[in-house]
Amino acid sequence: MNDLFDRLDRAGFGSNVHEVAADGECRVLRLDDGSGEGFMTMYRVFEGIYLMYNDFHLRECISEYQNAETVLCIDHCREGRIEHENAMGGRYYMEAGDMRIDKRVHHAGKVEMPLCHYHGITIGFIKELADRAIRREFPFLHTDLAALADKFCHDDREYLIRTNETFNLIFGQLYHAPKSIRLNYFKVKTAELLLLLDAADPTQNSEQRQYFPASQTDRVKKVHSIITTDLERSYTADELAELSGMPAATFRKVFRAVYGAPVYRYIKDFKMKAAAAMLISQRDLNISEIAQRTGYDNASKFSAAFRDVMGTTPQNYRKRQEDI
């Protein structure tokens, strides 16, 4: 076990990552940042192969991770959203159901989570150690990790797959691995994943993902800050586009890429979740007052919007919370 974890430690996760617990084949790392915190629960599957559960509740962080001789990493997003910048300076987004194959060559730098949370799994392979483990443990596999990485990651670029049913099934099972057989379960699923990747045709599995210039995503984030700070104000599409300094069609496209939803739907969801918090924390406010604080002059329209997002009326939501 020491060879794997020692190699990762020598390379360094960064000054903002610290081990908070360790037990045999498992260790827990904590990432601290001013906007929140994240936990990485890492299991040694074989010497040179690790599986890590990633649970982050923060807006952004700086990754100081060094490559540590990583030949291949496979990331899967279960929930949330994460922004990375590729070697060409373009930003791309992983969302629920997405899988990324990566050499970890361009992993250091600023990482953002537009929805302030991200949950997923990483399976990492350290060269030589992992190759030996695969030959020893899975003689039926003929996987060459370096060749597999080159097959998917030309010129060291990441390879993104969106919502592939077969791969999602494997990761879905890993998220619910039976505790009593967890390590053996990881071994079986790792072999299954490698077998499928060996057989996969990169030209058939990848969905073309868009990359957006930092200048565009930064403008959208500034607009997002405005519309989520002043909840009483309502904006038209033209006003939001003008605030961003981009054509309306471009603004809508980039906003959806960053936040995963059309701008009006996102604003509605954000306001209704804020209203739900007010219903519980500010019980002295009546429904009409909360409606006004979220930009609705008409209480009936507010109630309809609240029900659409939260699945119940504001009155029933407050009463249900009072009964708990």
pLDDT of 87 higher than 90: no
Q: Once rounded to an integer, what is the mean pLDDT over residues 66-86?
A: 86
- Domain 2-205 in this protein, CATH class: mainly beta
Percent of the chain with pLDDT over 90: 70
Nearest to 197 by CA among 245, 234, 149: 149
pLDDT at 104: 82
- Token readout for 2 is 């020491």
Q: Which residue has the higher pLDDT, 180 or 66?
A: 180
Span 82-99, average pLDDT: 87
**Calpha distance 178→155 (Å, rounded):** 38
User: Which region holds residue 5: left if phi is over 0, alpha if psi is between -120 and 50, else beta?
Assistant: alpha
pLDDT bin (cut points 50, 70, 90) of residue 11 is low
Q: For 264-324, CATH number?
A: 1.10.10.60
Residue range 15-38: mean pLDDT, rounded:
88
β-strand partners of 53:
41, 121
- The pLDDT value recorded for residue 155 is 80
Task: Give yes or no for a contact between 102 and 159, defined as CB atoms under 8 angstroms apart.
Answer: yes
pLDDT at 171 over 50: yes
Q: What is the pLDDT of residue 32?
A: 86
> What is the per-residue pLDDT across 175-184, written as a single tens digit (0 to 9) for each?
999 999 999 9
Quote the CA–CA distance of 88 and 213 in Å, as a whole number: 10
Mean of pLDDT over the chain: 90
Q: Which residue has the higher pLDDT, 236 or 67?
A: 236
Tell me which range, 108-112, 206-210, 281-285, is most confidently predicted by mean pLDDT: 281-285
Tell me the pLDDT band of 291, cut-offs 50, 70 and 90: very high
pTM score above 0.95:
no
Residue 2 has pLDDT above 60, yes or no: no
